[in-house]
């Protein structure tokens, strides 16, 4: 039986309020990374995602959170009088230029590279893919302020990675605890089937476009920014399914497939905490790699 999600405040995304009816909102199913790999693979095939609890060393994740926010201490992003690991939003006098500059730098830190290449991550993928793996160079760290009006719209990742294998997986890693009120990812239940159908439709529509356009998330047949929609409640109604939320903890890692639809909600942290997360992509090294992801993220790249 589906349980009603009891929320203190409804979740919103880009101005839309998610229904908390039990057939529209639910919880992500956690997985134990210690389970046999064949079970995890079967679960991934069935769900389109794996929420691996405690795969990573919690202290190492929190140390990275501290390091990240410490770098922003002179920008007005975080409160200076509190341990940066807390990531408490200041916002009184934000130096937006300096924040942008530091964002470019943090994406290029060797320490960030090392974080993304932590042994539990690549070893998980080697077992999951049953062979040597590749980490895409283009990786994203996102800090989301409380109340920030723009959330990630509903999309599946293949739209941005069509130049490579559709077996590519995303690791979404909370850097710090991210309870559902803090705007972490929500997943549309069973949407990996929908994603495949949708991509077949896009392929047919894109067939006559020049090759570069055909694989672009921004061509004339796609929604703005490659998103399917910003209207999460209507999408769930249309597919008669649920958005699945979670109380993520530092040490967790979610793996989602290239067709699994996901989005984010507004960070409504009661104590003004900034959501920090990274999303990075792993795949089999032997399979086709989308060359457009062969460089570090920057503000003016394609996404
Ligand atoms: O963290 C977000 O808001 C978006 C992340 C995302 O779209 C992804 O992990 O693929």
Ligand 1 and 170: CB distance under 6 A? yes
- Report the nearest-CA residue for atom 4 of ligand 1: 152
Ligand 1 and 148: CB distance under 6 A? no
Look at residue 102 and tell me if it is in a domain. Answer: yes
Ligand 1 and 199: CB distance under 6 A? no
Look at residue 48 and tell me if it is in a domain. Answer: no
Predicted confidence pLDDT, tens digits, the chain (303 residues): 455 566 778 999 999 999 999 999 999 999 999 999 999 999 999 999 999 999 999 999 999 999 999 999 999 999 999 999 999 999 999 999 999 999 999 999 999 999 999 999 999 999 999 999 999 999 999 999 999 999 999 999 999 999 999 999 999 999 999 999 999 999 999 999 999 999 999 999 999 999 999 999 999 999 888 999 999 999 999 999 999 999 999 999 999 999 999 999 999 999 999 999 999 999 999 999 999 999 999 998 864
pTM exceeds 0.85: yes
- Report the nearest-CA residue for atom 5 of ligand 1: 279
**Mutate-to-test residue for ligand 1 from 159, 175, 277, 278, highest number of ligand atoms within 8 A of CB:** 277
Look at residue 72 and tell me if it is in a domain. Answer: yes
Look at residue 47 and tell me if it is in a domain. Answer: no
Look at residue 23 and tell me if it is in a domain. Answer: no
Query: What is the C-alpha to C-alpha distance for residues 228 and 232, in angstroms, rounded to an integer?
Result: 10
Look at residue 296 and tell me if it is in a domain. Answer: no
Ligand 1 and 171: CB distance under 6 A? no
pLDDT of residue 1: 46
- Report the nearest-CA residue for atom 6 of ligand 1: 279
Q: By C-alpha distance, which of 198, 190, 199, 194 is closest to 241?
A: 190
Look at residue 40 and tell me if it is in a domain. Answer: no
pLDDT of residue 277: 98
Ligand 1 and 177: CB distance under 6 A? no
pLDDT of residue 301: 83
Ligand 1 and 189: CB distance under 6 A? no
Q: Which residue shows structure tokens 């990573």?
A: 56
Atom of ligand 1 nearest to the CA of 277: 1
Phi (first) and psi of residue 120, to 5 degrees: -60, -30
pLDDT of residue 302: 65
Cα 282 to middle of ligand 1, angstroms: 14
What domain count does the chain have? 1
Domain with residue 184: its CATH number is: 2.60.120.620
Ligand 1 and 142: CB distance under 6 A? yes
Domain that holds residue 145: 56-290
Cα 102 to middle of ligand 1, angstroms: 20
Look at residue 7 and tell me if it is in a domain. Answer: no
pLDDT of residue 7: 76
């Amino acid at each position: 039986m589906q349980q009603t999600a009891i929320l203190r405040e409804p979740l919103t995304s880009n101005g839309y309020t998610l229904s908390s009816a039990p057939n529209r909102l639910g919880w992500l199913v956690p997985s134990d990374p210690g389970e046999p790999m064949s079970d995890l693979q079967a679960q991934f095939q069935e769900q389109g995602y794996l929420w691996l609890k405690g795969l990573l060393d919690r202290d190492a994740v929190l140390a990275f959170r501290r390091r990240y926010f410490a770098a922003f201490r002179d920008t007005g992003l975080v409160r200076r009088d509190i341990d940066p690991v807390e990531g408490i939003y200041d916002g009184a006098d934000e130096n937006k230029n300096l924040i942008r500059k530091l964002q470019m730098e943090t994406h290029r830190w060797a320490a960030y590279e090392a974080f993304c290449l932590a042994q539990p991550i690549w070893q998980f993928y080697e077992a999951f893919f049953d062979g040597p793996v590749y980490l895409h160079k283009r990786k994203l760290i996102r800090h989301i302020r409380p109340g920030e009006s723009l959330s990630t719209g509903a999309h599946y990742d293949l739209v941005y990675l069509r130049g490579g294998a559709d077996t590519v997986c995303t690791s979404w890693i909370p850097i710090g605890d991210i309870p559902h009120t803090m705007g972490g990812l929500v997943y549309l239940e069973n949407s990996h089937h929908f994603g495949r159908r949708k991509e077949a439709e896009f392929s047919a529509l894109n067939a006559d476009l020049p090759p570069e356009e055909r694989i672009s998330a921004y061509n004339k047949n796609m929604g703005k920014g490659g998103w399917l929609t910003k209207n999460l409640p209507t999408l769930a109604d249309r597919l008669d399914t649920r958005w699945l939320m979670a109380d993520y903890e530092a040490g967790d890692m979610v793996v989602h497939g290239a067709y699994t639809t996901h989005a984010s909600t507004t960070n409504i942290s009661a104590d003004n905490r900034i959501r920090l997360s990274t999303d990075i992509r792993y795949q089999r090294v032997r399979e086709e790699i989308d060359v457009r992801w062969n460089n570090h993220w920057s503000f003016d790249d394609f996404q």
